[in-house]
Amino acid sequence: MKKIKIAIQGEFGAYSHIAANNLFKDAEVKTCATFEETFKQAYKDDSYKIIIPIENSLAGRVADIHYLLPKYKLQIHGEYFLNVEHNLLCKPEAEINDIKFVRSHAQAIGQCQKIINKNKFQPIISADTAGSAKELAEGNDKSIAAIASDLSAKIYKLKILEKNIEDEKGNVTRFLIMGKNIEQPEINREKKFITSCIFRVKSEPSALYKCLGGFATNQVNLTKLESFSVKNTFDQANFYLDLEGHLDESGVKKAIEELGFHTVTLQILGVYEASTFRQK
């Protein structure tokens, strides 16, 4: 049996790596330096799926992802919600009194301000959390700590000085599982589905109002609606939309048809089963 191949952004031990391990046991995981490189991997090789963070409950949406979705036109196969737990990692021989600097991604640094301020650590911003742990392991300076996952500590043989150091609990990241091939589940009245799309409104008065009218008249609930600018212009905007329901449901189909009538472009990103996390 062939292993499932997954591409992620970041080093081994990243939270995307944890999500991949939780979703696909014994998967072959490929690390990519950037989000765009990750998308390109699945675009060039349809045997790969990618696991991409799209939003965080504390930090909001992940930069760049919304621009890559219409560019590479990958399909969403599913979603996954991961509880993010940050840990303070150090060299095996180091103790808390040795630490003067802490390295991590900017979001992780921002989410762990209490322990940083309490110990008067000097932050060092890095590209990602697991990469910070890898750099720490490869260096010889025991005055530097890293904020990363417990998986990073295991992979890079680092010591966990303190677990769960985030300022606020309930730090959750939503990931999308995507691939080049369309994998649309059949409609099932006993299951809940999410349909996602990206559209661009016409540059005219009440354009967005007209686009959304069909969802109201057909009683379709929207769970997310975000705008992001079209590159090189201030005159138009793209919108990312998640709705509750399957594309083959009558109300959803009518709402999408009406949306298409009032838009310049409309791309269905995927129809997939809603995560049970949404029921909490």
Q: Where in the chain is the domain with CATH 3.40.190.10?
A: 5-83+172-179, 87-162
User: 5-83+172-179 in CATH: which number?
Assistant: 3.40.190.10
Residue that is written with structure tokens 């799309």 in the block: 197
- Taking CA 83 as the corner, what is the angle to CA 221 and CA 129, rounded to the nearest 5 degrees? 120
Half-sphere exposure of 165 (CA within 13 A, CB side): 26
pLDDT of residue 142: 95
pLDDT of residue 150: 97
CA–CA distance, 68 with 280 (Å, rounded to integer): 30
pLDDT of residue 63: 77
Residue 1 CB burial class (10 angstroms; 0-12, 13-18, ≥19): exposed
| 180-208 confidence digits (pLDDT tens) | 999 999 999 899 999 999 999 887 888 89
Q: Please state the pTM of the whole predicted model.
A: 0.92
pLDDT of residue 1: 66
28 Cβ partners below 8 Å, 6+ apart? 3, 4, 5, 6
CA dihedral 15, 30, 146, 95 (to 10 degrees): 110
User: Which of 39, 121, 175, 239 is labelled catalytic?
Assistant: 175
User: 193-279 in CATH: which number?
Assistant: 3.30.70.260
pLDDT of residue 269: 97
pLDDT of residue 50: 98
CA–CA distance, 116 with 164 (Å, rounded to integer): 13
Least reliable range by pLDDT among 15-29, 94-108, 174-188, 233-247? 233-247
Establish whether 173 is a catalytic residue: yes
pLDDT of residue 144: 97
**What is the rounded radius of gyration, in angstroms, for the C-alpha atoms of the chain?**
21
Output b/e per residue, 88-100; b: 16+ Cβ within 10 A. Answer: bbbbeebeeeebe
| 106-141 confidence digits (pLDDT tens) | 989 999 999 999 999 999 999 899 999 999 999 999
Strands 87-90 and 159-162: antiparallel
Q: Is the pLDDT of residue 39 over 70?
A: yes
**Residue whose C-alpha is closest to residue 173's, from 93, 54, 12:** 54
User: Which of 31, 38, 173, 195 is labelled catalytic?
Assistant: 173
Residues 3-11, mean pLDDT to the nearest whole number: 95
Residue that is written with structure tokens 């979703």 in the block: 23
Q: What confidence tier does 230 reach under pLDDT thresholds 50, 70, 90?
A: confident
In the chain, the percentage of residues whose pLDDT exceeds 70 is 98
> 87-162: which CATH number, 3.40.190.10, 3.30.470.30, 3.40.50.2300, 3.40.640.10?
3.40.190.10
CA–CA distance, 200 with 43 (Å, rounded to integer): 23
Q: What confidence tier does 237 reach under pLDDT thresholds 50, 70, 90?
A: confident
| 80-101 confidence digits (pLDDT tens) | 999 999 999 999 999 999 999 9
Q: Where in the chain is the domain with CATH 3.30.70.260?
A: 193-279
Q: What confidence tier does 235 reach under pLDDT thresholds 50, 70, 90?
A: low
CA–CA distance, 85 with 147 (Å, rounded to integer): 10
